[in-house]
Structure 1
Amino acid sequence: MKKSRGNRKKAIFSKSKNEIKYLAIKELHETENYSIKWMCEMLNITRSAYYKWLKREIPKKELEDISLGETVNKYHDKYGGILGYRRMTIFINRNENKDYKYKRIRRIMKILDISSSIRRVRKCCTISNKNDEKAENILNRNFEASRPNEKWTSDVCEFKIPKSDKKLYLSAFIDLYDRSIVSWQISYQNNNILVFDTFDKAIEANPDAQPLFHSDRGFQYTSPAFKNKLEKQGIQQSMSRVACCLDNAVSEGLWGIFREEMYKLYDIHDEESLISAIENYINFYNYHRYQERYDSKSPIEVRFEALKTNIPKFYPIPINKRIEKYKANLAMKNPTEITSIG
């Protein structure tokens, strides 16, 4: 994986109010041979206080914070800076067999001056066909599911190949129960075959699946041939409304996560490295991207556990304050638009 880049400020874990001054005196004396007496006078501190600090025994709590800071730095570099304090806590607790609280990791990350990345805006590559028939928005932004293969969503994402005018297209099917990528397919063309092959792979892996299938109004999903494939499997189709990307928010959100994290985790410089990065990131996402909503488990872990029982555990979507605020503002502007965004 690609390491994160950028300068980080020197971490200070001590609670001493003059810690910065003491560190400056120590460093300047050792590197530039500045007079300790003169520096203490300039910084308005006593020499005795400085020497007392210099000979002090570092408290156990401070040593633990220093060690934890090194671990946080290691995970920040290893995962290309994609971990916020919540996922940083989950990853460290799972992989290091610890039980740190969110607040402590957040404090350490603040001291280290590190944070997660902000997602980019995705360029839409949906191409609709006005001549084909459309399906109703049956999903209606109800993105919760009680079991695997109850609801699937799909979309196609475009990637530019570095140092080339060519593009790659990635089609993916997502299960709304565990948010796992059920199947995926890469192609140099955004066509029917791309989505059809993705569908065939999904059914091959889940032969008895009859989920509600939701997508946008891309021409692949509205084609009669694709509708026949759904009907043959006994699958009901649902489609987003016109110009309503939030109707397919899970798939749209996946591409936001995908683009932001993949380019930070892997070194992508040509066609081969791009294809390799897509394959590796999908594996990472399915098997190693632990999520707070799923009790710090990966999508595939949640899926396998659910498939082994007759009554799978229900994982409600946590309340998102930003989404609730958006819905409130939307309701004030247009009361008819009040729906579950999830």
Structure 2
Amino acid sequence: MIVTEQKRENKTELAKKLGVCRSSLYYRAKRDELDEEMKKQILIVLGLNPSYGHKRIALEFKLNNKRIRRCMKKYGIKPYRRRAKSPRKKDDEGKPKSKWKNEIIAFCPVKQNIVWASDFTYIKFRGDFIYLATIIDIYTREIIGWNISTVHDTALVLGAIKHAIERTGKIPVYLHSDQGSEYDAKAYGAYVLGKGIIISMSHKSSPWENAFQESFYSQFKVDLGYVSRFQTVEELIEEIYQTIYYYNNERIHGS
């Protein structure tokens, strides 16, 4: 009883010093407790989805986004954001004009497996480079094929195409890419034309003509997050696979 009375007096004195009513101390304590629990849940979501901001986290929890934003601000929680653009491939101004033209420049497919687009990017990891080639169906916006290598060559991009054909069991009408040397190689043309696919290529120095792949890689790098957290290249590659799966199946896409 003496201890209970002492606690009550302490809370009363504290309330007077703070200039608030005694009941507000209970409210604040309860809110802090709820905020701590919410912080844990937010960190779990960000661990799986590093790029989610407060609005997408609120959608995940089905809560008011202002509440999530307040909690994130309180604890200094921030989603992953790219600090700078990834270095791009070397400029191709000196290259001769490709014999392939852009066949899809004003084309809008009405179903899947009409137009696939190919591209590759690189990820710097512990002083080395990992190259990722992907195939996207521009109707569904799904990544349907991919290949990873330590070398960027025609085998890298052909591996992604073969993987897409194997996974979907389909052959596209068009296969679009930029004019990189990997796509201008004889082996590339022989394989693609041999499958009865029409080759389409962007004009020189026109990355916007392969906008779906450019958009994917921009988001992919954000979703992948800081690669320095991985101890081995095997861990990184596993996370690349998980990030592609997440992009295709679980990401809450903005409108």
- TM-score where L is the length of structure 2: 0.76
Output the CA distance in 2 between the equivalents of 1:81 and 1:39.
Answer: 42
How much does 1:67 deviate? 9.6
How many residue pairs align between the two structures? 239
For residue 153 of structure 1, what is the aligned residue in structure 2? Answer: 117
> Structure 2 vs 1, CA of residues 87 and 176 (structure 1 numbering), >3 Å: closer, same or farther?
farther
AA partner of residue 67 (structure 2):
I
For residue 184 of structure 1, what is the aligned residue in structure 2? Answer: 146
Output the CA distance in 2 between the equivalents of 1:226 and 1:220.
Answer: 7
How much does 1:262 deviate? 1.1
Q: Is the 8 A contact 2:134 2:146 kept in 1?
A: yes
Matched, 1:218 2:180: yes
Output the CA distance in 2 between the equivalents of 1:36 and 1:158.
Answer: 58
For residue 191 of structure 2, what is the aligned residue in structure 1? Answer: 229
AA partner of residue 147 (structure 1):
K
Q: Is the 8 A contact 1:125 1:158 kept in 2?
A: no
Matched, 1:118 2:87: no
Q: Is the 8 A contact 1:161 1:270 kept in 2?
A: no
For residue 334 of structure 1, what is the aligned residue in structure 2? Answer: none
Q: Is the 8 A contact 1:185 1:197 kept in 2?
A: yes
Aligned 1:18-37 pairs, distance under 5 A: 36=14
For residue 249 of structure 2, what is the aligned residue in structure 1? Answer: 287
Matched, 1:88 2:57: yes
Matched, 1:138 2:103: yes
How much does 1:186 deviate? 1.0
Aligned 1:67-106 pairs, distance under 5 A: 69=38, 73-79=42-48, 81-92=50-61, 100=62, 105-106=64-65
How much does 1:207 deviate? 3.6
Q: Is the 8 A contact 1:87 1:291 kept in 2?
A: no
> Structure 2 vs 1, CA of residues 57 and 220 (structure 1 numbering), >3 Å: closer, same or farther?
closer
How much does 1:255 deviate? 1.7
Q: Is the 8 A contact 1:88 1:105 kept in 2?
A: no
> Structure 2 vs 1, CA of residues 55 and 108 (structure 1 numbering), >3 Å: closer, same or farther?
closer
- TM-score where L is the length of structure 1: 0.59
Which 5+ residue runs of structure 2 have no aligned equivalent?
Answer: 1-9
Which 5+ residue runs of structure 1 have no aligned equivalent?
Answer: 1-28, 93-99, 293-317, 319-342
- 1:259 equivalent among 202, 213, 221: 221
- 1:249 equivalent among 204, 211, 216: 211
For residues 45-74 of structure 1, what are the alpha-carbon distances to aligned partners after superposition, in whole Å with 9 as ceiling and x for unaligned?
3xxx42242466999xx89x8699457525
Q: Choose 229-238 or 124-133, whichever is displaced more.
A: 124-133
| Structure 1 residue matching 2:64: 3-state secondary structure | helix
For residues 212-256 of structure 1, what are the alpha-carbon distances to aligned partners after superposition, in whole Å with 9 as ceiling and x for unaligned?
221111112122332232222222222222222222122122222
